[in-house]
Structure 1
Amino acid sequence: MLNEIIAIYAITDDLLTAMPAAGYAYGHEDDIRCEMSDAEIITTALIAAIFFSGNQSKACAYMKDHNLIVRMLEKSRFNRRLHRLSMLINDLFHQIAGLRQNRRVKKSIMLSQHSFHVERGS
């Protein structure tokens, strides 16, 4: 589970960094006053959905207990930050869907340009 959490954080942070944001030519930037980055908030919410049946309190406690996030926010502030990021999360999911769609298109183009023979082993 720990490796999956680290992978989710790395992907989320990379996508946010690469995502154009309002007011910036390239990449999302966190407010310098925030104790937790937006990638940490989103990762914790995803961890809650994947591993803790949507229980954000358990996910926050897990992330804090395992020192994955040193400065975990209190429940109320975490929820306010999560709701503030709702449009950003929506954009993030659209970006992921676009990446998956581009990958499918590239695969179909690649497959249509090359003929190959597949043999099954006995």
Structure 2
Amino acid sequence: MREKRLEAEVTRELSKFFGGRDLSSLEELTIKKVKSSSLISAMSSRKEADMDRYASSEILDCMQAYYKVALKSVVDSIVTQAIETQLLGKLGEILSPARVVQMKADMINKIAVESSESRLQLGYP
């Protein structure tokens, strides 16, 4: 937001400096003589800002940044709840003690036994 305002301000100042011309016509402008000090002075001079307007603009920027973060947080929470409800909620039924007792040993090994690579990493034979 600040960058857009700064870009608009610089565009206005450049337009004023080049006699009010549209900056799109200045895309391929060949400048023969321009006092760099005049250009620097025009670009760096700050107009006396209305402090209420400045404060309002700062508050608006902060509010927009806060709501952007808050929106991401809400979306993350909704996704997390959906995953927990739909996927993890049924995990208790799938791996309940009663079902594990009924499983064959090879099925339990497929689910619970560590791979040979992880056993080697952990130092088990």
Q: Which bin holds the TM-score, normalised by the shorter protein?
A: 0.3 to 0.5
Calculate the TM-score normalised by the size of structure 2. Answer: 0.33
Calculate the TM-score normalised by the size of structure 1. Answer: 0.34
Rg bigger for which structure?
2
